[in-house]
Amino acid sequence: MVSTTGLSYTPGVPYPAFHRQNGLLVDDGGVWSVRAPESIQCSSLLDTDPYIGELCTFKGCIVCRSTQEAEDVKEHILLYANITLDLQRTNRPATFDYSSMLDVFWSNRQTPYNSSEYLKASVTVGEDTKSRWYWRIGHDKWTPSYDKTRIEHRGTSTLQYTYGGESTAYLFVKVEMGLPSSYPVGLIEVMQFQSFSIDRPSLPTTLPPPSHEDPEESSPPDSQPLPTRRERHKPSQVTVTWVPPIHSPRYQEPLPPPTPNNEGLVYLLGFIIVLSSAVAIILIVQELYRRVQRSEHLPTFADRAALLGYGPITANPRDYRTFGEESHRGGASHAGSTACHAPRETPKKYDLEQGLSAWAAEHRRQIPESFEAKLKAAGYLPYDDPDIMTEDEWLSQWSVSKMELQRLRHLYQQREDA
């Protein structure tokens, strides 16, 4: 049979939640955990099964299917849960009375149907066990049958209190479903748990309001792991020994809202965020100001062209005039011809030319001599942003093509990134 060692270490489910259960597995929002052989897969079902029809007539059910052939089977399917009982309003009774009702049935699509085929199932609540034979059904549509599928029982069992606990007890419930000695792929077994109630002592069936005094009760809902849907173990003969289970995080209440004592910390964090933002803005403004100041002291391309004595590479020199010619055109008419032919001093151009020439020689593949001459005419220096002028201005004024401008931008970006 399937090993049942350690089953009582499953999470505890409050009695009101178990009383109002939907009949599903823990991973699907239900209360049941499962152990089954390697060849069996169990899952939750809420409505109609595509192979056998309408299975769950009361909320949900658990369906176990064979995924491979098996022979000489001595195992069974085990569904189990731990119920937490709050007995603080009772006199701590040693026993309790309960009533339960569920349906179990099975079907095998791969072998001919025989209405006399049946398997054994049992329900254990605490130390009280109810067993019966449950029957194979047809392949069309299932309707619960009291005679063949239902296990209904009223019984009495003992309560197990927690160690040192004044009012908390735990109740272990399990459903064992037998398997055929041999079965192919296509075996289906179904358990539909319809009702469970404790008749004595009288216990509430609604969850109590949240209590924030116990730090364990107010822990986050995901603080403890839930068991996985499938737990597989090799066959062994082991007796179940009850051990107080861990507290179930699934039914814990949320954390209380922040107390007023946290307001000071919130204000402090807000002040730090505002201060950090202000400092960042100041640093950005300072950097922009430094860039503007630096750009104001840099000569423009046209200024450098005039200082170096180069003219634009165009066919119409009248469109571009030197600083000397421009200034004399605005003077008196009688002195215009004399001023235009007067010699003018050319500032030293060694530093500017040397910087451009050295840079162009270093990048000769991108800046051939013809392109270097255009840049000298424009007064361009290696640290200048070529996008100060548009592509049309570069082309019309300095005969710089889009391809040449693209290479110039690439070299400028490399210098900025360095």
> 233 and 2 in contact (C-beta within 8 Å)?
yes
**Do residues 237 and 308 both lie within one domain?**
no
**Do residues 72 and 198 both lie within one domain?**
yes
| Chain mean position to CA 84 | 32
Is 99 within the bounds of a domain?
Answer: yes
Is 156 within the bounds of a domain?
Answer: yes
pLDDT of 311: 46
Is 2 within the bounds of a domain?
Answer: no
387: its two tokens: 């996008």
Instruction: Compute the distance between CA of residue 398 and CA of residue 409 in angstroms, rounded to an integer.
Output: 16
250: its two tokens: 């699934």
**Do residues 313 and 387 both lie within one domain?**
yes
Which among 36, 317, 336 has a CA at the least distance from the CA of 187?
Answer: 36
Instruction: Compute the distance between CA of residue 357 and CA of residue 164 in angstroms, rounded to an integer.
Output: 92
**Do residues 218 and 356 both lie within one domain?**
no
Is 409 within the bounds of a domain?
Answer: yes
Instruction: Compute the distance between CA of residue 140 and CA of residue 155 in angstroms, rounded to an integer.
Output: 35
Is 256 within the bounds of a domain?
Answer: no
179: its two tokens: 């398997």
Structural domains in the chain (count)? 3
**Do residues 287 and 325 both lie within one domain?**
no
**Do residues 353 and 280 both lie within one domain?**
no
3-class DSSP assignment, residue 273: helix
**Do residues 194 and 270 both lie within one domain?**
no
pLDDT of 221: 38
**Do residues 290 and 335 both lie within one domain?**
no
**Do residues 18 and 167 both lie within one domain?**
yes
pLDDT of 249: 43
pLDDT of 226: 38
**Do residues 309 and 291 both lie within one domain?**
no
Give residues with Cβ within 8 angstroms of 297, minimum separation 6. Answer: none
Instruction: Compute the distance between CA of residue 69 and CA of residue 347 in angstroms, rounded to an integer.
Output: 100
Question: Residue 331 is part of which domain span?
Answer: 298-417
398: its two tokens: 């300095």
Give residues with Cβ within 8 angstroms of 245, minimum separation 6. Answer: 8, 9, 10, 11, 12, 82, 170
Cis peptide before 209 (omega within 30 of 0): no
Element (H, E) at 369: helix 369-378
pLDDT of 57: 67
**Do residues 110 and 243 both lie within one domain?**
yes
> 105 and 135 in contact (C-beta within 8 Å)?
yes
Is 359 within the bounds of a domain?
Answer: yes
**Do residues 189 and 321 both lie within one domain?**
no
Bridge partners of 66, per DSSP, are: 40
pLDDT tens, N- to C-terminus, the chain (418 residues): 444 445 545 678 898 988 888 888 988 888 999 999 988 999 988 766 665 556 676 678 898 989 888 888 888 899 999 998 888 888 888 899 999 988 888 877 766 666 566 788 899 999 899 888 877 776 554 555 667 778 889 999 988 887 666 688 888 999 999 888 888 887 888 888 888 999 998 888 877 665 544 444 434 333 334 344 344 334 444 344 444 444 444 444 444 444 455 667 777 888 899 888 889 999 898 888 776 665 555 455 655 555 444 444 444 444 443 333 333 344 433 434 333 344 334 344 435 556 889 999 999 989 999 999 999 998 899 888 999 899 999 999 999 998 999 999 999 998 888 7
